[in-house]
Chains A and B, each alone.
Chain A
Amino acid sequence: MTETTTFESAEQRILQLFLEKEALLNEEASDFLRNNREQSMAVFQRLGIPSRKVENYKYTDLTKIFAQERYNRAFHPTSFEFDMQEVFTCDVPEFDTHILFHVNGWYFEQNKTDLFPKGTIIKSMKRALKENTDLVEKYYGKQADAANDPLASLNGAFAQDGVFIYIPDHVVIEKPIQIINLLRSEEDLYVTQRNLVIVGKNAQIKLMFCDHTLAVHSYIANYLTEVFLGEDSVADVYGIQNQHNGTAYFNGLYVHQERNSQLITNTISLHGGITRNHLQVDLQGEHANASLFGLTLTDKDQHSDIFTSIVHGQPGCHSNQIFKNVLDDNSTGVFTGRIHVMPGAKKTEAYQRNNSVLMTKAAKMNTKPQLVIDNDDVKCSHGATVGQINEEALFYLQTRGINEKEARLMLMFAFAHEVLTNIRVEQLRQSIDRLVNKRLRGEVSRCHDCKLECIR
């Protein structure tokens, strides 16, 4: 009796799957999308799953995650026999938002979108790919494809759905749009989600992405969002991740900014297994302004990798980055911050800071600023600190009758707080303050009221 074992690589396996499912993926797809998908797959095959030899992935080994996974793919929308609002209620009191659900990467068709101003388009990506071909062909993939990133190309190859948002010129959406991405299944699952947000001239939007797991199974989530900001537009993009330890979460945010546009992002990672946030901003109009903030709290064996890349392509642009990490137990963290100031981008101001606190000797942080400055009329700074809780401050608090545990929490919270002050939606800021506090206390900080018990 002979036994044959085939040693196929993860890339081969993914290609095989792609070829098997290509017809399904391209169901009703335009030539544009077919083309984009094929090209994405070709790029992915060329780049492969990044090992630690790839500079941008030096501290996050994806080959391990992909080598073993035989997860099912969410090629079809999950069907529901229950009321979404009843299963999941975001627990932010009086927090008035437009809520859009996704389940396993698929836009929830019962999402209500009738309250938006005239001309605004909010719909599933799948429908937009068919119905809004002019916008799609102008913007889809334009930011992400240029990045030549393996996860972005993998997303492009398998993308089927997500949310499509178009805000016409001069329209201000005052209420935040809350995009709640749920992972829920009866088995381990691989999920792809693709979002496209187009903000017109002088238009304004506040987006809040909430990423949750609602079942105990293991997940790989490959999410990608492209955002185009027209002249004088303003966008806030908040992200809150609260997923269990069995989740590998890859989240790409690719932003293109025109003249005078203003961007604030705040990436808050409360809980997750293996997390990679890829934030890329192209400042391609004069006086565009981008502020990127982030707070990552890790414990146990969690791993978080934040990769930022800001390109100053035009004169007079301003960018500022503050990312903070609190690492407990054996958890590990990475921050890579790239700033590229192009030759013509005079009067650039670009600042970057990463501060980390290690709560244990076993916790580890790798931080790496990368500044490429190709002209001499710039103000640039970067700084990184990795340290422990300030023992003197700890003693000071204790001498006032505050016990050590509480004093440590106060200091950790104080450390984290700087990032949170930059959230411009007051109710959201208060709510996140509370969540971070609970999380630092080791209490399960569920930010939603959910009937399904799945925290592990």
Chain B
Amino acid sequence: MLIIKDLHASVEGKEILRGINLTINAGEVHAIMGPNGSGKSTLANVLAGNTNYEVTKGEVTFNGKDLLSMTADVRAKEGLFLSFQYPVEIPGVSMINFLKTAVNESRKYHQLKELSAGDFLKVMREKKEMVQIDSQLTNRSVNEGFSGGEKKKNEIFQMAMLEPKLAILDETDSGLDIDALRIVANGVNLLKRAENATIVVTHYQRLLDYIVPDFVHVLYKGQIVKSAGKELVLELEEKGYDWIKKELGE
């Protein structure tokens, strides 16, 4: 589904990603872990098409297509979704108008008929129940005045509405209390299908107790320095990241 080859990226002239190689197949859950500043969020943003990051080398194919040549909105329409670490508040843009536009833009792209207002509201009701988001939130402006937990739930709600092939969850657990974390993780698990995949970017293991990964990668100084199964999560929890640094001879 996603093949990343020797990906280099920099921001304001400073190289952050220094040769990432990663292959993700349908049905898989990958965790990307690593200490602060290792490049986890940069990778998520580069994949989503944030133009503040400059790709200097490498290639990424997404379902056989060149991902890096697509604008952010086309990547989304092709089925890539980024759950933001810090979801943006957009006063004046109503949740309903925002989601309706997003869903229908994608449907148009795939030459499907746009959803009628009635059908859209029906779908929205179903998904709201699925991810247990407060009904009132969808009557407000996008993320405006939402609590930290509400913002993260809203990300998962949007994911449910857009049904992406590949979801990248960037530090979705940061700042979440344990109840909200369970709800968010539960939402992600309910949305899991054999034909889609998930990348969970996180600093801690806690989220991975709920969203169990098939593969775990450690990102350090802009490179994947270790890949293993879910047992690596426990090892990292016990020993921290320092033993990896030692292994690397630092």
Least CB distance from B50 to A in Å reads: 6
For residue A396, CB closer than 8 A to chain B, the reply is yes
A417 within 8 A of B: yes
CB-CB < 8 A to A414: which residues of B?
A: 90-93, 141
State the Cβ distance, B230 to closest chain A Cβ, in Å. 28
The complex places the Cα of A415 from the Cα of B73 at a distance, in Å, of 22
B202 at the interface (CB under 8 A from A): no
Complex CA gap A234/B50 in Å reads 51
* Bitwise interface map of B from 213 to 232 toward A, beta carbon under 8 Å scored 1, else 0: 00000000000000000000
In-complex Cβ contact of B71 among A403, A406, A413 (8 A):
A403
The answer to whether B162 touches A395 (Cβ under 8 A) is: no
Main secondary structure of the interface of A (DSSP, over half): helix
Question: Which listed residue (A393, A401, A403, A417) contacts B88, Cβ 8 A?
Answer: A393
Enumerate chain B residues within 8 angstroms of A450, measured Cβ to Cβ.
none
Interface residues on A, range: 20 to 34
Given contacts A401-B76, A401-B77, A402-B73, contact A396 B84 (CB under 8 A): yes
- Verify if A418 is at the interface (C-beta below 8 Å from B): yes
- Tally of contact residues, B, Cβ under 8 A: 31
Nearest neighbor of B168 in chain A, beta-carbon distance: A399
Does B62 sit within 8 A of A, measured CB to CB?
A: no
User: A397 interface residue, CB < 8 Å from B?
Assistant: yes
Chain B positions 190 through 205: 1 when the CB is less than 8 Å from some CB of chain A, otherwise 0? 0000000000000000
Is B158 in the interface zone, CB < 8 Å from A? yes
The CA of A400 and the CA of B91, in the complex, are separated in Å by 17
A320 proximal to B (CB < 8 A) = no
Most chain B CB within a 10 A radius of its CB, from A392, A402, A404: A402
Q: Which residue of B lies closest to A413 (CB)?
A: B92
B31 at the interface (CB under 8 A from A): no
Residue from the set A393, A397, A401, A406 with the largest chain B CB neighbour count within 10 Å: A401
CB < 8 Å: which of B76, B101, B142, B162 contacts A406?
B101
Taking Cβ atoms with an 8 Å cutoff, the residues of B that contact A are 48-51, 71-73, 75-77, 81-82, 84, 87-93, 97-98, 101-102, 105-106, 109, 141-142, 158, 162
Not counting A393-B88, A401-B73, A413-B92, a sample of 14 additional A-B residue pairs whose C-beta atoms are within 8 angstroms of each other reads: A392-B88, A396-B142, A397-B93, A397-B102, A399-B75, A400-B158, A400-B162, A401-B102, A401-B106, A403-B71, A406-B105, A407-B73, A410-B101, A411-B93
Chain A interface residues (CB < 8 Å from chain B): 390, 392-393, 395-404, 406-407, 410-411, 413-415, 417-418
The 8 A-B pairs at the shortest CB distance, nearest first, are namely: A414-B92, A401-B76, A398-B72, A400-B102, A396-B88, A414-B93, A398-B73, A401-B106
